Amino acid sequence: MYAPLLGSEVPEAVRSWVLEKSVSRFDYLARHLDGREFLLDRFSVADAYLATALTWSIATPIDLKKWPSLVAYLQRLQARPSVAAALHAERKLYGEELTRHGRPLPAFMRPREATAS
């Protein structure tokens, strides 16, 4: 689902179709996670991968706020040291890959300017 939303040469009609289809997928996932801590009965590699995939939403028009159980799940997973380390490493590699291809960093990856106190 994310690949067509992240690709720079994907036709707009394809992006629209993917966004439309994604709603039912996120609805299903949100229902499954509602009242649950993890995908299965305990933390597993599936949770770490899902946290990674859900994080990709920040680079797409997908707004996870529509699904509070997904936001809560992602926050829980991002608080785990192992998941936080993996997400940090992935973000760094993604930035390096964009730079290597001469593509600008998306807004969510640019350093925030210091604000005067």
Domain boundaries, the chain: 2-104
Statement: residue 12 has pLDDT above 60: yes
CATH number for the domain running over 2-104 = 1.20.1050.10
Statement: residue 34 has pLDDT above 70: yes
Statement: residue 38 has pLDDT above 90: yes
Report how far apart, in Å, the C-alpha atoms of 31 and of each of 39, 40, 49 are.
11, 14, 18
Q: State the pTM of this model.
A: 0.77
DSSP 8-state assignment for residue 112: P
Statement: residue 79 has pLDDT above 80: yes
